[in-house]
Every structure is written in C-alpha cells, then in structure tokens.
Structure 1
Amino acid sequence: MKIVVCVKQVPDTNEVKINHETGTLIREGVPSIINPDDKNALEEALRIKDEHENVHVTVLTMGPPQAKEALKEALAMGADEAILLTDRAFAGSDTWATATILSAALDKIGDYDIVFCGRQAIDGDTAQVGPEIAEFLGLPQITYVSNLKVDPENNKVIAHRSIEDGYFVVESKMPVLLTAIKDLNTPRYMSTWGIFQKANKTEIIEWTVDDLTVDLTQIGLKGSPTNVYKTFVPTRKFEGEVLEGETPQDKAREFLVRMKERHIL
C-alpha cells in the first residue's frame, strides 16, 4: 500500500504578530512548524504503516528550501520518503494554484492508494486544497475524518466524517483522498533514531516546475484567481453590565437568562 501525505510548513500562530500599519504578518523571529492538521494526517498514515504490512509513506510539501525542516521532522516520525516542490514559479500560489501543483506531483508519484491532507492550514484556514486536489485528480474524497479503518484486502476505507453534532459513516474504494482533523489521533514524537539517522541520512527529493507536467498559466501569483485584499486584526470592545436584582438569587437568575439569550447555555 502506498500512502502520500501532503504537509505544509506554517508559522506558529501562537507566536505570530500583525504589523498594524501594513496589515501583514511579522514573520521575523517566528518559528515554523508542521501544520497541526497535517501532522494528524501524517500520524494516521504512520499508524496504518504500523498495523499493516508493506506500507510505504511518502511526505510531500511545497515551499522554499527551508521547508526541508518540516520534511526532516516527518522522516524522524517514521515516513519513508520526502519530496520538496520548490521553485520561484510556485511563489504566490493561492489554493487553486497550490492544488494544481500538488496534483501534478501526485500524478508523477502515481500508483498511490491513499492521499492524506490536513483539514486546513492555520495560516489560511480555507480547507480548500485537499478537496481541490481530489477534484483535479478525479478521486473520491472524505473530509473531516475523525476515525478511520483501512481494509486492504477489500481495497476500501471506512471513515467517520465529523459534522457539527455527530458524524457520518462513509465507505470508499481506494484510491481515495482523506482530510484529517485533530480528533483523529494524537501525533507521535520523533524518535531519537529517527532524528539522528532517518532524518539526516535520507535524501530529500527536490522537484521544480521542470519536473512536473503542469500548465504554467495556472500556478504562481499570476495563475492564482484569488488574492488577499487586506489583512487586519479586529478590535474588540468589552462593555460591562450590572445585573439588577434585590437578592443574590435574583441576580443569578438574571445571569442565567442573559446566558441563554446569547446561546451560551
């Protein structure tokens, strides 16, 4: 079984600050991490590898050369192979263009059974790339996966697709694209052997635009149909309110009424 996991290196949003004059992220000094949902996707691929024989896990990312650090972390966790898509022609790609590039890379990899993506990236929160890849490649897709069972003998997967107040049980033949959410699992730590042996001694494959069969008019900044018009931090004004009531019980009752009015309770 061949599994490909698409990951993205993102700025740690716990450390991100906004330049209020320009409306852009201040990236200087901000550490980069593997996107959290992508890490759940990787963990699920590794779990399948632990439970079944002859499973090969490839990790795929698009980004600048420093994105190799995310791939090294994935290798240290247990992935078998890592591919970096890096080229100036990819710069400025929106979700459409990014999915176009990743789809071309998946075409080049070929013969995969499962493609994993995270639900969404914390630096964009669009949840679009995974479904777009599935559409470009003509793959069935199950999004928001919170539980997964893989049945290699019958060439199918059975997944719980989370919704607001429960989940659907969805079955699909492979190959299939799945997007993972944090409820799916708890990502493992890198192993010592993985850090010092696997990550440092496994060659990371690099592909540029010349290695892919891709329409150049559909990638990069010029090929992106969407753009960010403005980024800003919303201002919040908190106003206090004094609850009326002759006794503490009356005030508590009024408090509960206000909470219900706001659908907090």
Structure 2
Amino acid sequence: MWMSTIVVLVKNVPDTWSKRTLEADFTLDREGVDEVLDEINEFALEQALRLREANPGHKVVALSAGPESADEALRKALSMGADEAILLTDGALAGSDLLGTAWALNNAINTIPDVSLIVAGAASSDGSMGALPGVLAEYRQVPALTGLSRVAIEGADVTGTRVDHRGSFELKAALPAVVSITDKADKPRFPNFKGIMAAKKATIARLNLAQIGVTPEQVGLAHAATAVTAASERPARTRGEVISSGDAAARIAEHLAADNVI
C-alpha cells in the first residue's frame, strides 16, 4: 500500500536540435518537428525515483498537460521507472500562459490522492521561464524549494541543496511542498529493455478540464493574462572583447563583479 504520492511534472517539447519557429500569434509552431520529453524533466524524474528508493511506500506519478502527442513524454517517464502516468488533455488548453497552465495542473493534482511532494524541472527548454513551480506552490499554498541540485525527504520535511553563483545553500520546508530541479542534479538513468516494453503497454490515464473542475474561460490563448506582442531572432554570436592592457586583471574583475559572478 502506498503511503504518499510524489508527482513529477513532465512536458513534451520540440527537440532542441529541431529548428523552432513561431506562429503568427507568437505561439510555438509544433508541426513538423520532433518532440521529446524535456531533458530537465528527466533530471526531476531521477530525483523523484531516488526519493522513492530511499523512502519505501512512496509512489511516483508523472503528470503532463498538453495534446495527445504528450503521451510520448509520459511513456518515456514510465520507461524510466514512474509507477503511473496521467495526461491532462483538452482543446481549450491550447495557448495557455503560465498562470492558466499552473491553474490547470493544480486542479489535476487535486485528483491524485495523498500528494506529499511535487517535483518539476527548473525551467522548460521551450519556455525557459522557470516560474511555474513557484506559481503552483502559491496556488496550493505550500512551500517551494526551487533550483535544487539535491533533494531528500526527512520525516515530515523536504530538504535540498541550491547551488548558484553566490555559493551553496541548504534549504528545508515542511511537506507537502513543491521543488524544482536543475541539471546540476544527478544524471538521469537510462530506461532498460523491460521498462521500455512495459511503458509501451501501459495505460495512461486521461483527464479533461471538466473532470478537474476548470472552465475553458480560465485557460487557453484567448483568456491568457499575459501576451507576447513582439519577437525577434536571437542575434548571431559575435567576438568577445579582448583585454590585453596592463590593467587587464582589474578590468576583468570589474566586469565579473558587474555580472555578479564574483
């Protein structure tokens, strides 16, 4: 019998090696590109699986919101070791912004019994905002430990390590909570043959908006609280500044200090 559930948020995104373009409404054009489980979600899932291994009785459920093609990301999660997978899919979700997506995920999570921890990647490769874990925690009124390279469950608490340019920080909060994982965490495991075959045959539960108590007016592009009004291609990389004068060390130190690197 499961004691509690660890929910891992996963996302099907265009392969980073694919050429990515925008539609006229500035949403990502997903036609004709290969989609894969976002790599950062593999790091998040790896941490969830390690938590289950260290805390017997916990179940890992992979949850995704998106079109039917997101089924592939969930099957990858199952092949890596997730116990169950759920896909929230509804045409009204298309074009949802951060707030709408987080609200839909929040209500989908409410249908899962005994959730003690929600694990997400630090930022998706297609959006790169990194704000969803914090917004989700606000909706649920639970603590958020973000940008972690390590996470552990210690009794009724979750602990983690955050590493950034300022140093290493040890964080702690009471469960239930939301955590986000960076690519500085342990490398994800490779699915074995048995896991791959089991994932192909597994049943992925489906949810729609009506089943989670969300109305079409709360999600979707037409009802988004934010909008992209302009976009431009990233400029080509240029040659960096070369410093060769006698005060090079001081100038480099000033530059690094200005960027908060030192």
Paired residue for 1:219?
A: 219
> What is the TM-score when the length of structure 1 is the normalising length?
0.86
CA contact (8 A) 1:16 1:27 kept: no
Structure 1 residues 233 and 155, CA gap change in structure 2 (3 angstroms): same
Paired residue for 2:72?
A: 69
For 1:120 and 1:109, the matched residues in 2 are separated by: 24
Q: Secondary structure at 1:113's aligned position in 2?
A: strand
Pair 1:147 & 2:145 matched: no
For 1:40 and 1:33, the matched residues in 2 are separated by: 14
Paired residue for 1:183?
A: 184
For 1:183 and 1:207, the matched residues in 2 are separated by: 33
Paired residue for 1:159?
A: 160
Paired residue for 1:10?
A: 13
Q: Secondary structure at 1:43's aligned position in 2?
A: helix
Q: Which runs of 5+ in 2 are unaligned?
A: none
The equivalent position to 2:117 in structure 1, one of 114, 117, 137, is 114
In the TM superposition, what is the alpha-carbon distance from 1:242 to its structure 2 partner?
8.9
Q: Secondary structure at 1:104's aligned position in 2?
A: helix
CA contact (8 A) 1:16 1:25 kept: no
Q: Which runs of 5+ in 1 are unaligned?
A: 244-250
CA contact (8 A) 2:150 2:185 kept: yes
Deviations 1:200-237 (A, max 9, x none): 22100011112111243221112210112122213347
Residue pairs, 1:197-236, within 5 angstroms: 198-236=198-236
In the TM superposition, what is the alpha-carbon distance from 1:110 to its structure 2 partner?
3.3
Deviations 1:235-256 (A, max 9, x none): 347469898xxxxxxx675766
Deviations 1:135-177 (A, max 9, x none): 11111111111122212xx211111133331132111111111
RMSD over aligned CA atoms reads: 2.7
For 1:214 and 1:23, the matched residues in 2 are separated by: 25
CA contact (8 A) 1:20 1:232 kept: no
> What is the TM-score when the length of structure 2 is the normalising length?
0.87
